[in-house]
Amino acid sequence: MDQHIGLDVSLKDTSVSVRQDGKRIWRGKCASDPKLLAEVIRKRAPNAKRVVFETGPLSVWFFHALTAEGLPAICIDARHAKAALDMAANKTDANDADGLAHLAEVGFYREVRVKGFDSMLMRTLIAARRQLMKMRVQMSNQIRGLMKTFGLVVPKGAGSVFDRNVISLLEGEDNLARIILPLLKAWGDIRLRVAELTKQLVAMAGADQRCRLLTSVPGVGTVTATAFAAAVEDSINFKNSRAVGAWVGLTPKRYQSGEVDYEGHISRRGDAKLRTLLYEAASVILNRSTETNALRTWALALKERLGFKRAAVALARKLAVIMHAMLKTGELFDPNAGAAAPT
């Protein structure tokens, strides 16, 4: 008989529940190691049909490791699972594992696509670079704020200009310099690390045909193209290009009940960082780009009618649709056909 397994995964331990013929036949705990879990599952559920666990920090590792062990691993959407798991009288790891096993048995779940390690490596590089850039800005702002207390206002400027301005203002201020210069050195080290990761990102994008294709879109740079390629992976992962806009969270939410029926703000579901990058690309097209093409003409007309924010969101959604269509066809961006893309 088929057995269905639910795994409630945490960093240290994983609760396991096994169901068969509508009843729980075993449950227990195991260290959060896919190899150890595979041994437990093979022992307790030799006829495993589904091994279900929720999306989380360890889901990519667990999915690929359990699949490599020959187990039918399925990662399901945590938001959908929550509604069923909240039905339990007591919130415990064991009860959550029981609930997941029950969902696996009845088939009431939404399976999510788990990214490959290559895509996760690209996303990790982008995230690490973004974090260092944020730290660099925070460090420079901290230096500016500390020096203002002593009447030393650092002029506007970034990079080496900022470094020279700080050193110049600290001349004759030996006591303050002993405090600020270590911060300035740390800022400089972070700046160098950002440059190193940027070189890696450019090299990675240059070696990827998808990224080279996507950067032909106006306003889409290396970071946005790499983030989009890593998130989508393959165009066949979506049934059509229009679905990408909803997947990134750029489509309006709808509420309908009885005679009440209205559309609200965008859902903001999915990859928040990718959504931000697409919005930034749309802002570049609307505010900075001087290139004349059908896509920008359409966006500027929308801006005049609806205002900047709504136009930028609509353009970001259209960019997601166009970029997916480009991955699907393998064609470069057509300046004359951009506005004809579906939204």
For the residues 210-226, what does the mean pLDDT come to?
A: 93
Does residue 43 form part of some domain? yes
Does residue 112 form part of some domain? no
In the chain, what is the straight-line distance between the N-terminal and C-terminal CA atoms, in Å? Answer: 48
The answer on 200 and 126 residing in a single domain is: yes
Q: Which of 90, 87, 83, 65 is nearest to 75 (CA)?
A: 65
18 pLDDT exceeds 70?
A: yes
For the residues 112-131, what does the mean pLDDT come to?
A: 93
The total of structural domains in the chain comes to 3
The answer on 289 and 181 residing in a single domain is: no
For the residues 70-97, what does the mean pLDDT come to?
A: 89
The last residue of one of the domains, among 181, 207, 233, is 207
Report how far residue 214's alpha carbon sits from residue 216's, in angstroms, rounded to the nearest whole number. 5
The answer on 216 and 335 residing in a single domain is: yes
237 pLDDT exceeds 80?
A: yes
- Cα torsion angle, 323, 329, 331, 336, sign: negative
The last residue of one of the domains, among 79, 106, 133, is 106
Read off the pLDDT band of 342 (50, 70, 90). Answer: very low
Helix, strand, or coil (residue 270): coil
Does residue 260 form part of some domain? yes
For the residues 315-320, what does the mean pLDDT come to?
A: 94
Does residue 111 form part of some domain? no
Does residue 101 form part of some domain? yes
Structural domain span for residue 98: 3-106
What is the pTM for the complete model shown?
0.83
**Cα distances (Å, whole numbers) of residue 52 to 61, 80, 81, 245, 305:** 14, 13, 11, 28, 48
Report how far residue 83's alpha carbon sits from residue 66's, in angstroms, rounded to the nearest whole number. 26
- In the chain, which ranges are continuous DSSP H helix? 34-44, 59-68, 78-85, 93-106, 117-148, 160-169, 174-206, 209-214, 222-232, 242-247, 272-287, 294-306, 308-329
The answer on 319 and 283 residing in a single domain is: yes
DSSP state of 333: P
The last residue of one of the domains, among 182, 207, 232, is 207
pLDDT reported for residue 61: 95
The answer on 257 and 164 residing in a single domain is: no
DSSP state of 262: E
- Domain of 36, CATH number, reads 3.30.420.40
DSSP state of 316: H
pLDDT reported for residue 98: 93
The answer on 327 and 214 residing in a single domain is: yes
pLDDT reported for residue 209: 93
340 pLDDT exceeds 80?
A: no
The answer on 78 and 20 residing in a single domain is: yes
What is the H or E stretch that residue 263 is in? strand 260-266
Report how far residue 128's alpha carbon sits from residue 204's, in angstroms, rounded to the nearest whole number. 14
The answer on 58 and 102 residing in a single domain is: yes
343 pLDDT exceeds 70?
A: no
pLDDT reported for residue 90: 85
The answer to which of 5-9, 22-26, 254-258 has the lowest mean pLDDT is: 254-258
